[in-house]
Amino acid sequence: MMNTSLQPLFQAIAQTQNESELRGAMMAKLGKYFAATRWGLSFLDQLPTIDENSPLMLKLAVSLDHNPVLRYLVERHAAVHEEMILPRGVWQSICPRADHGHVMVGPIVNQGQLVGGIAFTRHCDAPAFNTDNLTDLSALSLHLSTRLAELRSNPISGLTGSEVASLVETRLTPREMQIAELVAQGLTNAEIGTALWITEHTVKQALKRMFRKLKVSSRAELVARLAKSGQTLAAS
């Protein structure tokens, strides 16, 4: 039988207006539901770049060789907690942080691809996550994945045209608008760089910032977002 206490959470997920609300108020509700010490909703396209200057703990946390819980999530797109795949106590040797003494993660998927994950941790002195927790997380991950897909397909739902125009105008610089106009014309990053007398790398970094500002994940979404805002684009 379906856990009826999940129904209000399903409804709350469906009513979220943006990704920020999913990360904030919604995740706080889920953290309380699972009696978690810490919680988080992360998207792969928004993770920090890992390089030789990154902290060792961060490198290990995102290493599929070092982190078997993350590896299970990536390989199977399924919810998992540490005692499901490891002998009791082994996780503490992998992640020594006391507030990460127990960990449970679930997938956020879209069109067959893993696009993010939802994670909860408990203090090492607290009870470990169990099968019921895992079943509930699997159901919640499905609803979160569905809502995220809806938000990303219509990222400005609920805003008036003037509100969206104001939002775009305040978030994009004149140079970024130039780049957006050339993206709308179908130019490649290299061609945009040549047209604006900047490097291809500069174009790539600018696009990353623009995607992040406007909460889009592709060039097509960027153009659609700006066109709907009322901005004048060369391709419109």
Residue 235 included in any domain: no
Q: Does 16 share its domain with 81?
A: yes
Q: Does 98 share its domain with 127?
A: yes
**Rounded distance, CA 111 to CA 100, Å?**
31
Q: Kindly state the tokens that stand for 60.
A: 């290990």
Residue 234 included in any domain: no
Sign of CA dihedral 167, 11, 25, 118: negative
Give residue 154's pLDDT.
Answer: 66
Give residue 59's pLDDT.
Answer: 66
Give residue 60's pLDDT.
Answer: 67
Give residue 170's pLDDT.
Answer: 47
Residue 58 contacts by C-beta under 8 Å, 6 or more apart in sequence? 48, 50
Q: Does 166 share its domain with 128?
A: no
Q: Does 17 share its domain with 87?
A: yes
Number of domains in the chain: 2
Q: Does 102 share its domain with 144?
A: yes
Residue 141 included in any domain: yes
Q: Does 95 share its domain with 8?
A: yes
Give residue 236's pLDDT.
Answer: 36
* pTM for the predicted model, two decimal places: 0.64
Give residue 109's pLDDT.
Answer: 94
pLDDT digits (tens, 9 = 90+) for 173-230: 888 888 988 998 889 999 998 888 889 999 999 999 888 888 888 888 888 877 766 5
Residue 236 included in any domain: no
| SS3 (DSSP) at 169 | helix
Q: Does 189 share its domain with 99?
A: no
* C-alpha distances out from residue 138 to 44, 78, 81, 155, 207, Å: 19, 7, 11, 25, 34
Residue 76 included in any domain: yes
Q: Does 93 share its domain with 197?
A: no
- CA-nearest of 13, 118, 46, 47 to 103 is 118
Q: Which string of b and e fits 129-142 if b means at least 16 CB within 10 Å?
A: beeebbebbebbbb
Give residue 227's pLDDT.
Answer: 74
Give residue 232's pLDDT.
Answer: 46
Q: Which domain holds residue 166?
A: 161-229
Q: Does 172 share its domain with 80?
A: no
Q: What percent of the chain has pLDDT over 70?
A: 80
- CATH number at 25 reads 3.30.450.40
Residue 209 included in any domain: yes
Give residue 84's pLDDT.
Answer: 95
pLDDT in tens, the chain (236 residues): 446 589 999 999 999 988 878 888 999 999 999 999 999 998 877 666 666 666 666 666 777 888 999 999 999 999 999 999 999 989 988 888 899 999 999 999 988 899 999 999 999 999 999 999 999 999 999 999 999 888 877 655 555 555 555 555 547 788 888 898 899 888 999 999 888 888 999 999 999 988 888 888 888 888 887 776 655 444 33
**Rounded distance, CA 101 to CA 127, Å?**
10
Q: Kindly state the tokens that stand for 90.
A: 């082994």
Residue 195 contacts by C-beta under 8 Å, 6 or more apart in sequence? 182, 187
Q: What is the DSSP letter of 99?
A: G
Give residue 226's pLDDT.
Answer: 77
